[in-house]
Chains A and B, each alone.
Chain A
């Protein structure tokens, strides 16, 4: 049986589907019996989802850049 520490060490690979079949079963088995690690994994997923929806900083000078690119494109058009 994995320890909590070993479970945490494998958590990213578990979330990314990078574990072998056997290791995945070992993690699942540990999670079944360990509420602390279940909470850890649940909150790791929540952290991932939070980064996903956290807005990226807006593009500086978006209009100017778009205009420049459109002009560059028209200039290059055969």
Chain B
């Protein structure tokens, strides 16, 4: 959302317009959930996001627009998550969990010359809209996203769905750039393998 839209929305929020709150929640809650999910895991997402919303509402008058509204909301969410779970803040887990359709791993390449042994299968569709008309593929993707570790899926969604820069993700989640890069790459290869499998076999 552009800065001008932020300003307008903020005005309506400060006036207490209920529809504006509805817009705020539906626009930003999924990004906030991704941040919370990365830091505290599935079990505590709801309470952290709820804490964050209350804190947002209480501090709305103090928002000065030095960052975008989205960055401000995500920072509050990250802080809520961290303050609630300071004691048991988890190590950065680079664990790679198995994914339903695997990944693009070493087996795909010749061990002698590094060429593809099994070349990438050519997908039938060439736009996201065309791919997503297949309901089964959509479900299949959801399934793969759920199979990723909490941190891996959050990093992927914050990058691809929410369009955050890598540096923003590092700052919010307090993880290094090299870890963000590793998490993102592994997650992408798994999602790639899922789409490839679906395009090749027509089933999930």
Contacts and interface: CB of A to CB of B under 8 A. Distances in A.
B128 A74 contact: no
Chain A interface residue bracket vs B: 35 or more
Contact of B181 (A12, A44, A46, A50): A12
Interface string B2-38: 0000000000011011110110111001100000000
Nearest to B122: A39
Interface stretch (B68-76, B87-95, B109-117): B109-117
Interface residues of B, number: 55
A43 B17 contact: no
Contact of A53 (B13, B30, B132): B132
Helix, strand, loop or mixed for chain B's interface? helix
Contacts, number: 132
Interface in A39-73: 39-40, 43-44, 46-54, 56-59, 62-63, 65-67, 69-70, 72-73
Given A13-B181, A36-B116, A43-B195, A5 B132 contact: no
A18 B138 contact: no
The 10 closest A-B pairs by CB, nearest first: A3-B114, A56-B30, A12-B185, A66-B22, A51-B160, A50-B128, A66-B21, A5-B109, A5-B114, A70-B18
Interface of B: 13-14, 16-19, 21-22, 24-26, 29-30, 53-54, 56-58, 60, 104, 106, 108-109, 113-116, 119-120, 122-123, 126-129, 131-132, 138, 141, 156-157, 159-161, 163, 166, 181, 184-185, 188-189, 191-192, 195-196
